[in-house]
Amino acid sequence: MSEMALLPHSKVCVQRRPDMISHELICTARALFADDKGLLAMDESNPTCNKRFAALGIPQTVEARRAYRELIVTTPSLGDCISGVILYDETIHQLKDDGTPFVKVITDAGIIPGIKVDTGAMNMAGYPGEKITEGLDGLRDRLKEYFEMGARFAKWRAVIAVGDGIPSQGCMEANAQALARYAALCQEAGMVPVVEPEVLMEGEHTLDRCREVTEEVLRTVFDRLYKQRVMLEGMILKPNMVLPGLTCPKQETVDEVADATVQCLLRAVPAAVPGIAFLSGGQSGELASARLNAMNVRFKSRLPWALAFSFARAIQQPALEIWRGEEANLLRAQRALYHRARCNRAARRGTYDTAMETNGSESPPRS
Ligand code: 13P
């Protein structure tokens, strides 16, 4: 394989043959799982980012969002633990305060830039309480632009709520169809699709109900991916872990969550998929690391795919809470970000320990 395929700034010939694209996709997907690293999602839409800023009294401005994203991408040694970052449209166009494009900062750190391309989850007509993710219109052209800017993978998130009588078959099928259409367009453009069907944690449902719904959703998604001729070797699955609802009285142990999650994935995810990178979904950073770690400790040697992370809140939240929009807090915030990234790399190796939470944050960044 030509190393050039992985370099976002490489001048890829305008008319790449389909076999070359397949090869690039496989190489990019493999690179995203190499060396026990994982993905950092920093693709919050402006409304979501503003909501998180408002909760901490941070101004909800373009400049504050830019400064926060600069804090993330300039964290020293981030590339030790993070193979790819997922950007948002505003962010992929932004620059460091010295004028360097974020995409250059990211690739110089040895990290592959990715981009969220869905335009959000909207109320689904005829299906009260359920959502459908939009963004297929014009997607082919947007993917082309993002590829030219250096993005080598993309993300699309579907949300599936659990409750009385939901999710419906109609909602699962519509979202799976959109995910599959998006994934096919990504591969055509030479970008690895991160396929994210998220079964939400909100609700009183049990772990067993989450397992049942997650399995059904994943079966539906892979059926549609197959029908849309998506090459499984050149994609990444980004699912939820199998968890009890947030307000369910019974909260299972870390090992029970690991067992249920792996059992569900083994039943529904084809072995040709190179890797699975979980979303965190509102779990604390510590729990998300502990659960991923337990899966790798208990099952890694027997699994067909890598089990990794693609967390947003479970990596970013402590850093955001320290930063609070103040320059003086920057280094401490970067240290907290690096620490969570490092804990998750350890979780991929099955070497994470809660002791890392108290004595493990002395590593980079340096001033
Ligand atoms: P969380 O890890 O905060 O769930 O975010 C992951 C993500 O990318 C949501 O689309």
Is the per-residue pLDDT at 326 higher than 90? yes
Calculate the alpha carbon distances from 232 to 177, 228, 236 in Å.
16, 11, 8
285 lines ligand 1 (CB under 6 A): no
The pLDDT score that the predictor gives to residue 187 is 98
123 C-alpha to center of ligand 1: Å? 19
The alpha carbon of 342 is separated from its chain's Cα centroid by a whole number of angstroms, namely: 16
Is the minimum distance from the CB of 41 to ligand 1 under 6 angstroms? yes
183 has pLDDT over 90 = yes
Catalytic machinery residues: 196, 238
112-to-70, 103, 122 alpha-carbon distances in Å: 16, 9, 29
Ligand 1 atom closest to 316 (CA): 3
Residues 260 and 252 sit within 8 Å (Cβ to Cβ): yes
pLDDT bracket for residue 7 (50, 70, 90): very low
Ligand 1 atom with least separation from CA of 280? 2
Residue 180 is predicted with a pLDDT of: 98
Q: pLDDT digit string (tens) for 304-324?
A: 999 999 999 999 999 999 999
**Residue 40 Cα, ligand 1 centroid: separation in angstroms?**
9
3-class SS of residue 131: strand
> Going by CA atoms, what residue is nearest to atom 5 of ligand 1?
312
Q: Please identify, by atom number, the ligand 1 atom nearest to the C-alpha of residue 43.
A: 8
Q: Is 311 in the pocket of ligand 1 (CB under 6 A)?
A: yes
> For residue 1, what pLDDT is reported?
38
What's residue 8's pLDDT? Answer: 47
User: How far apart, in whole angstroms, are the C-alpha atoms of residue 91 and residue 76?
Assistant: 19
Task: Quote the ligand 1 centre to 238 CA distance (angstroms).
Answer: 9
Contact 281 CB / ligand 1 (< 6 Å): yes
Question: pLDDT band at 363, cuts 50/70/90?
Answer: low
pLDDT at 162 over 80: yes
157 lines ligand 1 (CB under 6 A): yes
Dihedrals φ, ψ of 160, to 5°?
-120, 115
Are the beta carbons of 91 and 42 closer than 8 angstroms? yes
Q: What integer is the mean pLDDT of 96-106?
A: 98
Q: Tell the residue nearest (CA) to atom 8 of ligand 1.
A: 41
Q: Where are the beta strands (DSSP E) in the chain?
A: 38-41, 82-87, 112-116, 120-123, 131-134, 153-160, 192-199, 236-237, 275-278, 306-311
The least confident of 189-198, 262-271, 354-363 is 354-363
Segment 60-72, tens digit of pLDDT:
999 999 999 999 9
Q: How far is the CA of 44 from the centre of ligand 1 (A)?
A: 8
Q: Identify whether the C-beta of residue 118 lies closer than 8 Å to the C-beta of residue 133.
A: yes
Q: Decide whether any atom of ligand 1 lies within 6 Å of the 279 Cβ.
A: yes
116 pLDDT higher than 60: yes
* Partners of residue 236 on adjacent β-strands: 194
Over residues 210-260, the pLDDT tens digits come to 999 999 999 999 999 999 999 999 999 999 999 999 999 999 999 999 999
From 39, 91, 182, 313, mutation site for ligand 1 pocket: most ligand atoms within 8 A of C-beta: 313
Q: What distance in Å separates the CA atoms of residue 225 and residue 221, rounded to the nearest whole number?
A: 6
pLDDT(3) > 50:
no
For residue 158, report the distance from its CA to the centre of ligand 1, in Å. 11
Model confidence at 43, in pLDDT bands (50, 70, 90)? very high
- Global pTM reads 0.94
Q: Are 184 and 136 in contact, with CB atoms under 8 Å apart?
A: no
CB-ligand 1 contact for 313 (6 Å cutoff): yes
Q: What is the pLDDT of residue 16?
A: 76
3-state secondary structure 281-342: CCCCHHHHHHHHHHHHHHHHHHCCCEEEEEECHHHHHHHHHHHCCCHHHHHHHHHHHHHHHH
Q: Looking at residue 366, what is its pLDDT?
A: 63
Q: Is the pLDDT of residue 112 over 90?
A: yes
The one-letter amino acid at 134:
E
